[in-house]
Chain A
Amino acid sequence: MIGAALLALASHWRRHPLQLATLLAGLALATALWSAVQAINAEARASYARATAQIGSGALDVLEAPGGPIPLARYVALRRAGWQLSPVLEGRARLGELRVTVLGLDPVTHPPLPAFAATMERDSATLGRMLAQGGVLFAPPEVAAALADVPGLPEIRVSDSVPPGMVMTDIGVAERLLARPGQIDRLLILSDQPPGLTPLADLAPELQRRASRAGTDTARLTDSFHLNLTAFGLLSFAVGLFIVHGTVGLAFEQRRGMVRTLRALGLPLRLLTTLMLGELLVLALIGGGLGLVLGYLVAAALLPDVAATLRGLYGAPVAGGLSLRPSWVMGGLAMALAGTGVASAQALWRMVHMPLLSAPGLQAWAQRAARGERRMALAGLGLIGAGGAALVLVPGLVGGFALIAGLMLGAALLLPPVLALVLHLGRRLARGPVGDWLWADTRAQLPGIGLALMALLLALAANVGVGTMVSSFRLTFTGWLDQRLVSELYLTARDDEQGAEIARWLVPRSEAVLPIRSAEFTVAGGPVTVYGVVDHPTYSENWPLLEQAPNAWGRVNAGAAVFINEQLARRLGQWSGDSVQLAPGWTLPIAGVYSDYGNPTGQAIVALPALLSHASAVPNRRFGVRVAPDTVPGLIAALQEDFDLPASALIDQAGLKAQSLAVFDKTFVVTGALNLLTLGVAGFAILTSLLTLWSLRLPQLAPVWALGLTRGTLARLDLGRSLLLAAFTALLALPLGLALAWVLLAVINVQAFGWRLPMYLFPADWLRLFGLALLAAGLAAAIPARRLYRLPPSELLKVFANAR
């Protein structure tokens, strides 16, 4: 019995291979996009965790000197007072043509490090080489490869546990590479301090103790980005499930007759349901498995860009290589199973509750749907309201995303009722019986194609919203770059002495040499880079200030006030007129707030003498040079010649802008790709819906054909109807997309990056998208239309002969 039933169930898929393919494709697509996003997130998180484990010494508090390094003698003095500390020196250095972060540690006092341990387990003499014989650089594979041929470097060891873009080494080697002898950036306060020591505040009042923030910075900064990706993944998943829902619904509908026969032959309902569940399980596993493979490929293709984004935007170290992790593999399969279950629940429910001898009740769809539409409209409005409430009630990023979720889902639920209303109005305008039939028939098809249109709506709205956000951002960013990058040439010297030498050399050859000097401070528990600027019109005439107090530049140049960036202002809740404490004993009034789209962290600007009096050992290696633009190439050549600077140390303004924009564009490559994929999936959903409706519609089309409409006319009308529905959907998607863009710019961005962007409108993009939507719907409708056009009249006649 079981065997026969299984054969009967399988025979359906044998007779409908396209349906089977569609079902599997839908499942695979849904799983693929979801698991791709999860794989990317997992990879990034693993990179952060590695960085934290490596640098972090995780939960250890640290001691820092505000605005400068800690002298080695201070470390030794604290050690001699009994404090168990470990020194860390960290900085950026150019090794060959590569800029890397050099992390210098003292392996003798530092808590155990995976990178060192793994290497030393294989070769116990390494420590001797690390500390005594020229040193060892531990580098991740890609950095090690890039450094392989650089002369004059210590021995290089590949270590997978060193974060990307970093080399780890003994602090003695690091101070040589960074040209910072006798300096320490921070002291880790080790666990297990002996009791009764003199408090640090008494021994070293100039040092600030702060709680560990290893990892938390990156995690906090990138959380929004990952949440964003996850939201996109979920959207794609939902769209994919529309396909599954459509196909499974059709398959069950078509198998009603078979189910009736099987049950009449004595197959218990319970067994039949179990078999069908088993069948779905197998399909879900196959589709999910395909989806995982596809997802892996998609993730591998996108990951380098994501890594570039995270590095560019947040400075978060993420490796470009993808590895198979059980977390997202299992998660993907689970989502495939759960998704299949959700998408098939309705069909299964209907089959279980079908009376043994009931006739197929297709026509009843429309009436049932009409009742459903009212409920859907209410639910949709409710969801939008709930999203709005969430924004008010739940602070932060989660509230913003809740608003987006409510808005999108609510609007999707509202779509069928709104379309029904539109069609109702359209029918009033109809003249003649064919027009009347067309509107009524479209209305009758709405429940079947509604889900696919919802998918289209979501995909289009996401496109409009994200597109508007990215384009607005880009426009603002470009304008900001123009204001911010005023110097014609930017250069980085090898060390302070060379910097001073170059500055002297440049004085007679340029209009102005503007030093770019900064030091790290801790303000309200977070890192803030404080820049010291000289009094020059380059700054006061161009600097992009969002708001300023009277005589702002005068006061800042006099050392009596500070400018802070928008991120810091939002974080502190302090604006012009308030004050900010940059270091103990150094509190300045805020003279203005400037926009800063270059980094997500806090920044401040003070007069250079003020910075130098509060920070020690501020590097003097970077300069902006004001010269006539046409002399820049000659100057670069002369500088390279006279000072032996690598090409990457000299960047002209145009080059720097291009670099910045390239980073920016990379940032949104992934967003764009996911957008396009979602739209593709939505188009596919329309196709499956139409194919699903196809066989159900024959009984409805046959009478119209019999009344005299040719197959060609019917095919054209079908195509037109699909285009009409797609056009309505696209029109409705526009306001939804703009609402989404507003939420992204004014809510999500503020939370994620700390800046709010002006919103610009791009009607040309909308037009392009509108065309794309029509194209997708047209292509999806063309296949069934062509089939109708080619349909042998005998098939239509059979409808009457077979009328059950």
Chain B
Amino acid sequence: MRARLALLLILLAALPAYGQGYAGLGSTASEGFANPDPNTRLHFPRDHGPHPDFRIEWWYLTANLTGPDGTDYGVQWTLFRSALAPGEAAGWASPQIWMGHAAATTPENHYFAERLARGGIGQAGVRATPFRAWIDDWQMAGADFDSLRLTALGAEFAYDLNLTAEGPLVLHGVNGYSVKSADGQASHYYSQPHYRITGTLTLPSGPVAVTGQGWLDREWSSQPLAADQSGWDWFSLTFDSGARLMGFRLRGARGDFTSGTWIDAEGNATPLASGAFRAAPLDETPVAGRDVPVRWRVTLPDRGVDVEVAALNPQSWMGTSFPYWEGPVRVSCSHPGRGYLEMTGYE
């Protein structure tokens, strides 16, 4: 797998998830890539589509689902785009590389799969209208962004889910310009956190009818991390009250950088000042040969939020070419609810 790994080093040098020394790539936009601009105004549906002049981009859906017997499940569907050079070209000459990750999590098991593809030949891509994001046979598609069908098939799992948006898009930061470090690294970032989901999750034990909520993140940038940042902890929490919280902590040698967005029950978003959102690990669990914090205390004093966030399945390890932890969480204490947690950079 070393060749694959080498490929991924380049691919993921660009991902904010991958800091360790490669972050230098992202600290300055270079080689002709476009830079996130605070003056950019997002337009839809155009911006649901790809931005090939930026180095990296993703369509990232996570869902908390419930089976007929009340069992909790989690589902992830992600399409990453990484550009070796800015722009698009037809055929093999395209500099775009696509990577798909899909996962299904139960309280006992975590299944995942990975797909890789070249751009330009049609094996993977995204179209804004009608919306369609695909890699191989996996896809997320619909007449528009508000009603999508999501499918993926792995060696041990499959799912076929219908997503219906029940609230507005949420722009993070200022007009979707989200700052990622004290040095000013930033990305364009918006979400659709209001999907209602119904469908079928197929596990080795058989198909399960599921319902629940989904959260789709869209982000693109060319300069994701500051040089000293080694990884991040990212939370998307949906409270039973109907309010939602997105918050992340970028771990850096010069101190952590936190940011986030508070979304009220009507879908109105308020960006959080740096430092307002706090997340502290409560305990660590050995996962895939390293210690990963799978229980957290998350606080947002401004909103009276003081919750404990615990992994549904502490072993939600994505053992893909580039490994990370991504799984559903239960939220308790001041604001009970559910959500998703992503953690990268734990060695």
A residues apposed to B, CB below 8 Å: 72-73, 75-76, 79-82, 84, 106-109, 112-113, 116-117, 120-121, 124-128, 131-133, 170-172, 175, 181-182, 192, 194-196
Residues of B within 8 A of A120 (CB): 3, 6-7
Contact A132 B84 (CB under 8 A): yes
Q: Does B116 reach chain A (CB closer than 8 Å)?
A: yes
Contact A79 B136 (CB under 8 A): yes
- Assembled-state Cα–Cα distance A72/B7 (Å): 23
Contact B118 A108 (CB under 8 A): yes
Give chain B nearest CB distance to A436 CB in angstroms: 82
Contact A76 B137 (CB under 8 A): no
Contact B6 A117 (CB under 8 A): yes
Q: Chain B residue with minimal CB distance to A119?
A: B6
Q: Does B9 reach chain A (CB closer than 8 Å)?
A: yes
Number of interface residues of B (CB under 8 A): 30
Return 11 A-B CB contacts under 8 Å, by A number: A79-B117, A79-B137, A80-B134, A116-B3, A128-B85, A131-B97, A132-B93, A132-B95, A170-B92, A181-B91, A194-B113
With A109-B117, A112-B1 in contact, do A128 and B91 touch (Cβ < 8 Å)?
no
Q: Does B122 reach chain A (CB closer than 8 Å)?
A: yes
Contact A108 B7 (CB under 8 A): yes
Q: Does B253 reach chain A (CB closer than 8 Å)?
A: no
Give chain A nearest CB distance to B55 CB in angstroms: 11
Q: Chain B residue with minimal CB distance to A125?
A: B10
Residues of A within 8 A of B155 (CB): 192, 194-195
Residues of B within 8 A of A107 (CB): 3, 7
Q: Does B153 reach chain A (CB closer than 8 Å)?
A: yes
Q: Which residues 91-128 of B have a CB within 8 angstroms of A?
A: 91-93, 95, 97, 113, 116-118, 121-123
Give chain A nearest CB distance to B126 CB in angstroms: 14
Contact A121 B6 (CB under 8 A): yes
Contact A112 B123 (CB under 8 A): no
Contact of A127 among B84, B92, B154, B158 (CB under 8 A): B84
Contact A112 B4 (CB under 8 A): yes
With A82-B153, A127-B84, A194-B153 in contact, do A112 and B2 touch (Cβ < 8 Å)?
yes
Give chain A nearest CB distance to B138 CB in angstroms: 8
Contact B4 A80 (CB under 8 A): no
Q: Which of B92, B118, B153 has the most CB of A within 10 A?
A: B92
Contact A127 B118 (CB under 8 A): no
With A131-B97, A170-B92, A171-B92 in contact, do A82 and B136 touch (Cβ < 8 Å)?
yes
With A132-B85, A175-B92 in contact, do A108 and B116 touch (Cβ < 8 Å)?
yes
Contact A133 B85 (CB under 8 A): yes
- Assembled-state Cα–Cα distance A109/B134 (Å): 16
Give chain A nearest CB distance to B139 CB in angstroms: 9
Residues of A within 8 A of B154 (CB): 194
Residues of B within 8 A of A128 (CB): 10, 84-85, 95
Give chain A nearest CB distance to B145 CB in angstroms: 22
Residues of A within 8 A of B158 (CB): 196
Residues of A within 8 A of B153 (CB): 82, 194, 196
- Assembled-state Cα–Cα distance A637/B137 (Å): 56
Contact of B97 among A79, A108, A112, A196 (CB under 8 A): A108
Residues of A within 8 A of B95 (CB): 128, 131-132
Q: Chain B residue with minimal CB distance to A182?
A: B91
Contact B3 A76 (CB under 8 A): no
Q: Which residues 1-38 of B have a CB within 8 angstroms of A?
A: 1-4, 6-7, 9-10, 13
Give chain B nearest CB distance to A190 CB in angstroms: 11
Q: A76-B122, A109-B116, A120-B3 are in contact. List 5 more A-B contacts (CB 8 A).
A: A75-B123, A108-B117, A113-B3, A132-B85, A192-B155
Residues of B within 8 A of A84 (CB): 136
Q: Chain A residue with minimal CB distance to B93?
A: A172
Q: Chain A residue with minimal CB distance to B154?
A: A194
Contact B92 A76 (CB under 8 A): no
Contact B1 A124 (CB under 8 A): no
Give chain B nearest CB distance to A127 CB in angstroms: 5
Contact A117 B2 (CB under 8 A): yes
Give chain B nearest CB distance to A563 CB in angstroms: 39
With A81-B137, A194-B154 in contact, do A127 and B10 touch (Cβ < 8 Å)?
yes
Contact B3 A117 (CB under 8 A): yes
Give chain B nearest CB distance to A230 CB in angstroms: 36
Residues of B within 8 A of A171 (CB): 92
- Assembled-state Cα–Cα distance A172/B84 (Å): 15
Q: Chain B residue with minimal CB distance to A82?
A: B137
Residues of A within 8 A of B121 (CB): 72, 75-76
Residues of A within 8 A of B116 (CB): 108-109
Give chain B nearest CB distance to A538 CB in angstroms: 41
Give chain A nearest CB distance to B274 CB in angstroms: 33
Interface flags for B58-95 (1: CB within 8 Å of A; 0: not) read: 00000000000000000000000000110000011101
Contact B123 A76 (CB under 8 A): yes
- Assembled-state Cα–Cα distance A109/B100 (Å): 13
Q: Chain A residue with minimal CB distance to B31?
A: A128
- Assembled-state Cα–Cα distance A73/B1 (Å): 28
Q: Chain A residue with minimal CB distance to B156?
A: A195
With A80-B123, A108-B117, A195-B155 in contact, do A124 and B91 touch (Cβ < 8 Å)?
no
Contact A131 B4 (CB under 8 A): no
Contact B7 A127 (CB under 8 A): yes
Q: What are the nearest 4 A-B pairs in CB distance?
A: A172-B92, A82-B137, A120-B6, A132-B95
Q: Chain A residue with minimal CB distance to B113?
A: A194
- Assembled-state Cα–Cα distance A537/B155 (Å): 60
Residues of A within 8 A of B84 (CB): 127-128, 131-133
Give chain A nearest CB distance to B292 CB in angstroms: 26
- Assembled-state Cα–Cα distance A194/B137 (Å): 11
Give chain A nearest CB distance to B77 CB in angstroms: 15
Give chain B nearest CB distance to A133 CB in angstroms: 6
Give chain B nearest CB distance to A162 CB in angstroms: 14
Give chain A nearest CB distance to B123 CB in angstroms: 5
Give chain A nearest CB distance to B180 CB in angstroms: 23
Q: Which of B4, B7, B10, B158 has the most CB of A within 10 A?
A: B7
Q: Chain A residue with minimal CB distance to B116?
A: A108
Residues of B within 8 A of A172 (CB): 91-93
